[in-house]
Amino acid sequence: MSILAPYAAQPETSRGRRYAESAPQFRSEYQRDRDRIVHSRAFRRLEYKTQVFVNHEGDLFRTRLTHSLEVAQLGRTIARSLNLNEDLTEAITLAHDLGHTPFGHAGQDGLNQCMKNYGGFEHNLQSLRVVDDLEEKYLDFNGLNLTFETREGILKHCAVAKAKQLGDVAARFLNGEQPGLEAQVANLSDEVAYNNHDIDDGLRAGLITLEQLREQTLFNAHYSMVEALAPKAPGKRLIYETVRRMINAQVTNLIETSQAQLQAMKPKSIEQVRLSEEPLITFSALMYEQHLELKRFLHAHLYRHYRVHRMANKAKTIITHLFEAFMQDTHLLPPQACQHLAQWQAQMGQESGTARVVADYIAGMTDRYAISEHERLFNATTLA
Ligand code: MG
167-207: pLDDT as tens digits: 999 999 999 999 999 999 999 999 999 999 999 999 988 99
Q: How many angstroms separate the alpha carbon of residue 347 from the centre of ligand 1?
A: 30
Give the pLDDT of residue 56: 64
In the chain, CATH 1.10.3210.10 covers 26-306
Lowest mean pLDDT among 48-57, 135-144, 230-239: 48-57
Cα gap 304→145, rounded to integer Å? 38
Whole-number Å distance, alpha carbon 335 to ligand 1 midpoint, is 31
Nearest to 129 by CA among 256, 34, 40: 40
Backbone angles phi, psi at 58, to 5 degrees: 175, 155
293 phi and psi, to 5 degrees? -60, -45
As a whole-number percent, the residues of the chain with pLDDT over 70 amount to 97
**Cβ-proximal residues to 292 (8 Å cutoff; 6+ apart), any chain:** none
Q: How far is the CA of 159 from the centre of ligand 1 (A)?
A: 19
Count how many residues are written for the chain: 384
CA gap 258, 244 in Å, rounded: 21
For ligand 1, the distance from its centroid to the CA atom of residue 188, given in whole angstroms, is: 10
Query: If you measure from the C-alpha of residue 108 to the centroid of ligand 1, how many angstroms do you get, rounded to a whole number?
Result: 13
Q: Looking at this protein, which amino acid is placed at residue 333?
A: L
Task: Report how far ligand 1's centroid is from the alpha carbon of 377 (Å).
Answer: 31
31 pLDDT above the threshold of 70: yes
Ligand 1 center to residue 376 CA distance, Å?
Answer: 30
What is the distance in A from the centroid of ligand 1 to the CA of 65? Answer: 10
What pLDDT was estimated at residue 38?
A: 98
Give the pLDDT band (50/70/90) at residue 52: confident
Write the class of the CATH domain 26-306: mainly alpha
Distance 190 CA to ligand 1 centre (A): 5
Residue 331 CA to ligand 1 center (angstroms) comes to 34
Mean pLDDT, residues 327-339: 94
Determine the pLDDT at residue 348: 92
Cα 302 to ligand 1 centroid, rounded to whole Å: 17
What is the predicted pLDDT for the residue at 384? 55
Residues 262-284: what's their mean pLDDT?
Answer: 96
Give the residues across from 17 on adjacent strands: 147
**Average of per-residue pLDDT across 120-126:** 95
Ligand 1 centroid, distance to 54 Cα (angstroms): 15
> What's the 192 CA to ligand 1 centre distance in angstroms?
10
User: What's the 214 CA to ligand 1 centre distance in angstroms?
Assistant: 25
Arithmetic mean of pLDDT, 213-228: 97
Residue 62 has pLDDT above 80, yes or no: yes
Give whole-number Cα distances, 205 to 119, 180, 269, 338, in Å.
Answer: 36, 37, 46, 39
The mean predicted confidence, pLDDT, of the chain is 94
- The alpha helices in the chain, defined as continuous H runs, are 29-38, 41-45, 64-81, 86-95, 104-114, 123-129, 148-154, 160-166, 172-175, 181-204, 210-213, 217-229, 235-265, 270-275, 285-298, 306-328, 335-338, 341-348, 350-364, 367-378
What pLDDT score was predicted for residue 1? 47
Q: What is the whole-number distance in angstroms between the Cα of residue 95 and the centre of ligand 1?
A: 9
Residue 127 alpha carbon to ligand 1 centre in Å: 11
Q: Check whether 382 has a pLDDT greater than 90.
A: no
The answer to whether residues 98 and 42 touch, using CB atoms and an 8 Å cutoff, is: yes
CA of 98 to the centre of ligand 1 (A): 9
265-272 average pLDDT score: 96
CA geometry: angle 334, 143, 129, nearest 5 deg: 75
Give percent above pLDDT 90 in the chain.
88
Phi, psi (rounded to 5 degrees) for 136:
-125, 90
Contacts of 267 (CB under 8 A, 6+ apart): 6, 7, 273, 276, 280
Contact 109, 88 (CB under 8 A): no
